[in-house]
Structure 1
């Protein structure tokens, strides 16, 4: 399994399970669990990622409301922190740019282009917003 930071603990739980816990940023941890290894010792492609996020629930709700508005989603459309903009919500690249612009306006922040490329889920957006608001 690839680690995303130097603060990574790797636990071999059994012959077929490996857990990685990586500290990504302040208060955010990414846990990867992989099962099975090929005979060459490479991890299998079956990986489950769990994310313990730092973003406040109010921030996540504000992001969800903006996403709903920008994408003109029907009220019965489920939008959760794990919802992906492209796959789950059907946003294209222009929609994503408009969402980022609306988030910048709502929260009074500026999102760098390289940071906006890392926003895949609603939770990613909320985490980035809190990080940028904290820096302000």
Structure 2
């Protein structure tokens, strides 16, 4: 099991998301905060679940059962939510 990373900066969070996206979608691509997850990145419901589970494991936060996750439409939204959840957990 991966030890959750609670010390990363937003750019490190984006880098982690890029790594997970590349693994799930098998596409190496730089992600931009404005990228829409479904429309621009072509992430379907199964890939979304895989990405969220991988992010949960990597950062030690709950995303799949979190109602706030439903409001994430862009990469920037997801990175922001991850950073908020990690900050809440640290306090």
TM > 0.5 between the two?
A: yes
**How many Å separate the matches in 2 of 1:78 and 1:58?**
13
- For residue 10 of structure 2, what is the aligned residue in structure 1? 56
Q: Do the aligned partners of residues 92 and 58 (structure 1) sit closer, same or farther apart at CA in structure 2, a change above 3 Å counting? A: same
Larger Rg: 1
1:133 matched to 2:86: yes
- For residue 53 of structure 2, what is the aligned residue in structure 1? 101
Q: Which has the higher helix share?
A: 2
TM-score by length of 2: 0.76
- 88, 91, 109: which one aligns with 2:40: 88
**How many Å separate the matches in 2 of 1:95 and 1:64?**
13
CA RMSD of aligned residues (A): 1.6
Q: Which has the higher strand share?
A: 1
- Whose RCO is larger (CA < 8 A, sep 6+)? 2
For these two proteins, the number of residue pairs brought into alignment is 80
